Amino acid sequence: MSTVNTRKQILLAFEGRPLCFVSGISLARQLGITRTSVWKHVEALKAEGWPVVSKRGEGYRFTQPFDFSLLRSSQFPLPYFWKVRYEFDTVSTQVPAKEAAESGLSEGHLWLAERQTAGRGRLDRTWESPLGGLWMSFLLRPQIAAGRVPSLTLVTALILQETVKEICGLDLRLKWPNDLVIETAAGWKKVGGILTEMSGETDRTRWVVMGVGMNVNNTMPKSLRHIATSLVSLKDRVGLIIPRVALLTDFLQRFHSAYLRFQKQGFEPFRPHYWQMYSRPDEPVSLRTSQGVLRGIARGVDAYGALVVESHKQIQYLREGEIVS
Ligand code: BTN
């Protein structure tokens, strides 16, 4: 067995045994290797960052409940369009995706990581990406004018919303342009976001890298708990682990058909549903844009994905900016 496979088998031996010790002897027997060799592999896994500890006389255990479904993902049937590249650790899944985009790789490739050491959000913010979340970037080469790419972000947000409803039964809402949010007793909190990067000319898109971050089994650091939460925290069931691969495969299936439709018909068929899922339709909104702050009432989104805001009895189309309240 290759080193990678041996290590994968060691990790999978902890599946379904949260916080329980697995002895070195049983791992050695199971894998047909020596105990010393098990020890060496576990040390290497620890060095990589896997949350494993050892105890003399007891063996090894995971220090946190863990969803192993992505580690198994190569064994899961994925819709044909997609080619997944899974890594434990990466700086940001956007990095290899953009490099590949520049080097001419075909669309449908997807980079997935258990954690990111320098995850990036919109507007050059950092994005917390510890173990347990769903962090991925995928490469698209849509046959559309560059001006239509923002509305593809909105379609992606809508498909994520549908996926979470289907797999977790949670009713997330959308916040323009790229956030998935939920209303809690303590106010609106962010659950996921999308970072869209692209290259092209005004009338031709060369590539789009869509980065999706969803807080799934990770709990939020204290400093973010007032503004962000994760799917598992919303489920309120102790010990529950959400299988991220179910979210992933459902999303990829739905997104692929939406993407084909989007390329033929544009954003129009998705527009009413996007607005139906909107977090605060027809409510006062404040936006920070490159032109300054705009206050008004959010009235809808247009065919290009711009936010339509009524301000001082005039309709404005916001193509960039951020909702601040
Ligand atoms: C945002 O809401 O600001 C967008 C967040 C996007 C985060 C995802 S996680 C996967 C991909 N890699 C990154 O570094 N960022 C995106």
Is the pLDDT at 62 greater than 90? The verdict is yes
Residue 77 confidence (pLDDT): 65
Is the pLDDT at 130 greater than 80? The verdict is yes
Residue 79 confidence (pLDDT): 76
- Residue-wise pLDDT for 157-177, tens only, equals 999 999 999 999 999 999 999
Q: What's the per-residue H, E or C state across the chain?
A: CCHHHHHHHHHHCCCCCCCCCECHHHHHHHHCCCHHHHHHHHHHHHHHCCCEEEECCCEEEECCCCCCCCCCHHHCCCCCCCEEEEEEEECCCHHHHHHHHHCCCCCCEEEEEEEECCCECHHHCECCCCCCCEEEEEEECCCCCHHHHHHHHHHHHHHHHHHHHHHHCCCCEEECCCEEEEEECCEEEEEEEEEEEEEEECCEEEEEEEEEEECCCCCCCHHHCCCECCHHHHHCCCCCCCCHHHHHHHHHHHHHHHHHHHHHHCCHHHHHHHHHCECCCCCEEEEEECCEEEEEEEEEECCCCCEEEEECCEEEEECCCEECC
Residues in CB range of 126: below 8 A, 6 or more apart? 118, 119, 120
Q: Give the binding-site residues of ligand 1, using a 6 Å CB cut-off.
A: 92-94, 116, 119-122, 125, 127, 129, 135-137, 178-179, 193-195, 211-213
What is d(CA 188, CA 111) in angstroms, rounded to the nearest whole number?
29
Residue nearest to atom 2 of ligand 1 (CA): 193
**Token pair listed for 190:** 């962010």
**Token pair listed for 241:** 């682990």
Q: What pTM was estimated for this model as a whole?
A: 0.94
Residue 250 confidence (pLDDT): 95
Residue 154 binned pLDDT confidence (cut-offs 50, 70, 90): very high
Residue nearest to atom 8 of ligand 1 (CA): 213
Residue 236 binned pLDDT confidence (cut-offs 50, 70, 90): confident
Query: Which of 129, 216, 229 is the best mutation target for the ligand 1 pocket, counting ligand atoms within 8 Å of the beta carbon and taking the most?
Result: 129
Nearest-10 Cα torsion for 179, 182, 184, 188:
30
Q: Name the percent of the chain lying above pLDDT 90.
A: 88
